[in-house]
């Protein structure tokens, strides 16, 4: 073989491609979210549909405009802005005023994503940043939960109900007789999706099925949701064993609030979660511990958003601590 017969292409790794694309991954996430999203539409009617359309449109417009002003490629075709809009809408009260939803979408895209360089460079989950910003800026509006059995008419905004976590925190915790709570909020309703709350978070069953679909499609790793949900279960079980009149049983923590949506769709974000298996386990446990600390001893009945964002900030340290040893060298 002569020198002219050798044809080598020199390039940086990776040298082979799995065939996956950002657009394909985002489409898979949208499909996984669809059952819980459609159930929310059925349960809360037109307000939920309009809220979702507003969040998605605002996210896409904010991404296109900000990238244009920053003189970058448009980039809206990858579908990431659509996914951010869907996730943001699903963790908001269905009757939230639309101008607030637009503000949350702009913060999620511009502040949490494009300021850091765009997709792949954001250290925090954009949808959660938008939700937390709205929670801090409009605290009263963010706790106006629509009753799940309210008819889908223009009067839906006037029918409100407490979420199970909020009702326990404000009315039932510490009472000698708590049977009334479990009659009013049976765990079956929480599991299948007949409770007040953010309209995309109410059906734990459909969110779990969507998460399992992402696992099957290999879009997420099992370590984060398993260790997240597992740590919440263990802590809730210990607390319930200590004082069942003050603390909720584990399945109420699992099936109430935004835990399922956060554990399967937000904590697993490949950009803002660790890259090593051991790091994912630490990340999931940290999210679970922080969620329970905020729920049980904090001043806010829900802690998923804050817990995931706090652990997002710790991801660089987790990656550094858990990075594997280079073959042929000693662990420093």
pLDDT in tens, 111-137: 999 999 888 899 999 999 999 999 999
pLDDT in tens, 167-211: 777 777 767 777 778 888 888 888 888 887 788 888 999 999 999
Per the model's pLDDT, the better-predicted residue between 10 and 190 turns out to be: 190
What 3 state SS string does the chain have?
CCHHHCCCCCCCCCCCCCCCCHHHHHHHHHHHHHHHHHHHHHHHCHHHHHHHHHHHHHHHHHHHHHHHHCCCCCCHHHCHHHHHHHHHHHCCCCCCCHHHHHHHHHHHHHHCCHHHCCCCCCCCCHHHHHHHHHHHHCCCHHHCCECCCCCCCHHHHHCECCCHHHHHHHHHCCCCCCHHHHHHCCHHHHHHCCCCCCCCCCCHHHHHHHHHHHHHCCCCCCHHHHHHHHHHHHHHHHHHHHCCCCCCCHHHHHHCCCHHHHHHHHCCCCCCCCCCHHHHHHHHHHHHHHHHHHHHHCCCCCCHHHHHHHHHHHHHHHHHHHCCCCCCCCCC
In a domain, 35, yes or no: yes
Query: Quick one: pLDDT band at residue 151, thresholds 50, 70, 90?
Result: very low
Mean pLDDT of 227-231: 97
Query: Quick one: pLDDT band at residue 78, thresholds 50, 70, 90?
Result: confident
Q: Which of 112, 143, 174 corresponds to the end of one domain?
A: 143
Residue 213 token pair: 């679909």
- How far apart (Å, rounded) are the C-alpha atoms in residues 124 and 283? 14
In a domain, 272, yes or no: yes
Mean pLDDT of 295-318: 90
Tell me which residue of 221, 298, 306 sits closest to 258, measured CA to CA: 306
Query: Quick one: pLDDT band at residue 19, thresholds 50, 70, 90?
Result: low
pLDDT at 172: 75
pLDDT at 177: 78
Mean pLDDT of 1-10: 57
pLDDT at 230: 96
- How far apart (Å, rounded) are the C-alpha atoms in residues 106 and 101? 9
Clarify whether residues 174 and 315 are in a common domain. Answer: yes
pLDDT at 160: 61
Clarify whether residues 287 and 169 are in a common domain. Answer: yes
| pTM of this structure | 0.88
Domain span including residue 87: 22-143
pLDDT at 159: 56
Clarify whether residues 191 and 295 are in a common domain. Answer: yes
Clarify whether residues 189 and 105 are in a common domain. Answer: no
Mean pLDDT of 266-292: 94
pLDDT in tens, 250-269: 988 999 888 999 999 999 99
In a domain, 64, yes or no: yes
pLDDT at 112: 94
Mean pLDDT of all residues belonging to the chain:
86
Clarify whether residues 38 and 121 are in a common domain. Answer: yes
Mean pLDDT of 321-329: 75
Q: Are 78 and 23 in contact (CB under 8 A)?
A: yes
Mean pLDDT of 22-43: 93
Clarify whether residues 139 and 166 are in a common domain. Answer: no
Q: Counting Cβ atoms within 10 Å, is residue 212 exposed (0-12), middle (13-18) or buried (19+)?
A: middle
Clarify whether residues 168 and 283 are in a common domain. Answer: yes
Phi, psi at 160, each rounded to 5°: -120, 160
pLDDT at 244: 86
């Amino acid at each position: 073989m002569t020198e002219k017969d050798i044809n080598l292409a020199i390039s940086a790794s990776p040298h082979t491609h799995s065939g996956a694309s950002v657009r394909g991954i985002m489409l898979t996430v949208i499909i996984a979210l669809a059952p819980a999203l459609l159930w929310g539409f059925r349960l809360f009617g037109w307000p939920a549909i309009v809220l979702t359309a507003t969040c998605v449109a605002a996210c896409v417009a904010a991404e296109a405009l900000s990238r244009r002003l920053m003189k970058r490629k448009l980039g809206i075709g990858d579908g990431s802005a659509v996914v951010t809009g869907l996730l943001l809408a699903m963790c908001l009260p269905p009757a939230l005023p639309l101008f607030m939803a637009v503000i949350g979408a702009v913060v999620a895209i511009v502040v949490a994503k494009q300021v850091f360089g765009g997709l792949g460079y954001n250290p925090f989950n954009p949808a959660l940043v938008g939700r937390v910003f709205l929670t801090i800026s409009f605290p009263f509006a963010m706790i106006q939960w629509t009753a799940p059995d309210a008819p889908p008419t223009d009067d839906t905004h006037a029918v409100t109900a407490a979420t199970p976590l909020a009702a326990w925190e404000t009315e039932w915790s510490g009472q000698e007789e708590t049977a009334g709570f479990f009659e009013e909020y049976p765990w079956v309703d929480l599991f299948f999706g007949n409770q007040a709350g953010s309209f995309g978070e109410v059906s734990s069953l459909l969110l779990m099925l969507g998460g399992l679909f992402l696992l099957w499609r290999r879009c997420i790793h099992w370590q984060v949701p398993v260790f997240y949900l597992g740590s919440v279960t263990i802590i809730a079980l210990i607390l319930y064993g200590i004082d069942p009149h003050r603390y909720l049983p584990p399945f109420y923590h699992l099936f109430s609030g935004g835990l399922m949506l956060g554990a399967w769709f937000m904590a697993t974000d490949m950009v803002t979660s660790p890259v090593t298996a051991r790091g994912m386990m630490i990340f999931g446990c940290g999210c679970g511990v922080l969620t329970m600390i905020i729920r049980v001893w904090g001043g806010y009945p829900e802690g998923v958003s804050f817990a995931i964002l706090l652990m997002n900030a710790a991801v660089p340290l987790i990656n550094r601590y858990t990075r594997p040893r280079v073959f042929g060298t000693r662990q420093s």
